[in-house]
Amino acid sequence: MASYLFRHGGEERRDFHADAAAALPVVSSGVRFRRGRRLVRAVPRRCRSGSASVLLLVSLLFLGYLSFYGRRLPAHASNESLASHTHYLSCQIDFLESVDHIIEPTDYMNVSQFSLEYIDDENSHERDIYKPRFGGHQTLKERENSFYARNETLHCGFIKGPKGFPTAGFDLNKKDQDYMHSCKVVVSSCIFGSSDYLRRPTRSKISALSKDQVCFVMFLDELTMSQLASEGTAPDERGNIGLWRIIIVRNLPYTDVRKAGKVPKFLSHRLFPSASYSIWIDSKMRLNADPLLILEYFLWRKRSEYAISIHYDRRCVWEEVLQNKRLNKYNHTAIDEQFMFYQSDGLVRFDDSDKNTPFRAVNVPEGSFIARAHTPMSNLFSCLWFNEVDRFTSRDQLSFGYTFLKFRRMNPEREFRLSMFQDCERRRVAKLFHHRGESPPVPRIL
């Protein structure tokens, strides 16, 4: 089996004796003195005893608090939550001054050409299927063959299942489908399980041309729409909330809403079959740049067909595995099974000393922002990445490097023009927020 790399002081005091003696009735100096001495001796003892008890109690409570919460602080104060509030900042991007004269390069789409078809139903008798799955029932042989960039028919979600069976999920109404089929350039996002607030693109940053020519689509499930309605947010007569065209998804294909969110994230070429370009932005972010300027900078100017940022903290998938388990992002056994599978297929730890390893090709991505052209290579890679998430865990950063490296290894004669840009650029095009119900980051304890 072929091997490939992945990189983956002190103070003023009052005379307590004098104060106490002065407070006693004058009978005789001796009596006064003696009674004063006794009282003075008694009062400090009681004060000292009471103060000591209070201090002891406070100390015990404080130690108890630290023992219960203190050791948990590092786990909650994750690199992710600390990062955007400390030393990870945005940087300037040399965008064009306006979109008035923006033109797609004439030879930009001069890329690898081949035909992709998609399996949309499966024969239950051949595969012994008793329940349809949105991702289908792809065999390991079919999985292996799907990595070849050639004319092929492959699994890429939206499997209908045998006749008479219910749909496998991600159901849309006809009116919404017709609208989606008319889109040529798309900005999309989703909120499932009421996991986020709806964040509208910054209107002042979006040109009139983009408002007219670009589809801004927000996929919501019924639970999220109900929550937004209860908060007084509802679509207008056109079905919009701000720039977002709201599209309701019924019958989510996965019980894990994080995995369900990978459908619009990866399969934009299937949801918007007439689109030439798409931009994905996670619901925890607000778009702060014009979509056409984003395409010009990240794709056309750099001659890329797929652009995604490098992770701000981690470089190797080994680190990503440990972080996911440390923060309990997913079932540990499932993570181990996926990682062992990848290692058995040749994935090895990134070696910093190997100067021949393509640096940008082995990084862990920060996948909350993706710009892509809908080219055959980009579409195939998106299907392959989605199939890994469907087969294994929803933690797509675990499968990105493996999928890309295997894709490249199996197609040495075809170029996949992947661009991994700096994370500070991602922070410039979109503002990052916390998820709904997520606590602010815990301050770092030094």
Model pLDDT, residue 58: 63
Integer Cα distance of 367 and 428 in angstroms: 15
Helices (H) and strands (E) in the chain, counts: 18, 14
Give the torsion through C-alpha atoms of 267, 139, 4, 337, to 10 deg. 90
156, amino acid identity:
C
Integer Cα distance of 6 and 406 in angstroms: 10
Q: Name the nearest CA neighbour of 109 among 377, 307, 292.
A: 377
More confident residue, 84 or 435: 435
Q: Name the nearest CA neighbour of 286 among 320, 256, 242, 330.
A: 242
Mean pLDDT value across the chain: 81
- Residues 283-317 have pLDDT tens digits of 999 999 999 999 999 999 999 999 999 888 887 88
Q: Is the pLDDT of residue 379 over 80?
A: yes
Integer Cα distance of 194 and 445 in angstroms: 32
Q: Is the pLDDT of residue 105 over 90?
A: no
More confident residue, 104 or 48: 104
pLDDT band at 38 (very low <50, low <70, confident <90, very high): very low
Q: In the numeric block, which tokens belong to residue 98?
A: 């306006």
333-364 burial, b at 16+ Cβ within 10 Å, e below that, comes to: eebeebbeebeeebbeebeeeeeeeeeebbbb
Number of Cβ atoms within 10 Å of the Cβ of 365:
22
**220 has which bridge partners?**
191, 248
> Looking at the whole model, is its pTM more than 0.85?
no
* Cβ atoms of 141 and 177 closer than 8 Å: no
φ/ψ (deg, to 5) at 271: -75, -30
For range 136-157, the mean pLDDT: 96
Question: Where do we find the tokens 């289908």?
Answer: 136
Q: Is the pLDDT of residue 31 over 90?
A: no
Q: Is the pLDDT of residue 53 over 80?
A: no
- Residues 200-240 have pLDDT tens digits of 999 999 999 999 999 999 999 999 999 999 999 999 999 99
Q: Is the pLDDT of residue 371 over 80?
A: yes
For range 90-103, the mean pLDDT: 90
pLDDT band at 62 (very low <50, low <70, confident <90, very high): low
More confident residue, 419 or 89: 419
Of 25-39, 63-77, 386-400, where does mean pLDDT reach its minimum? 25-39
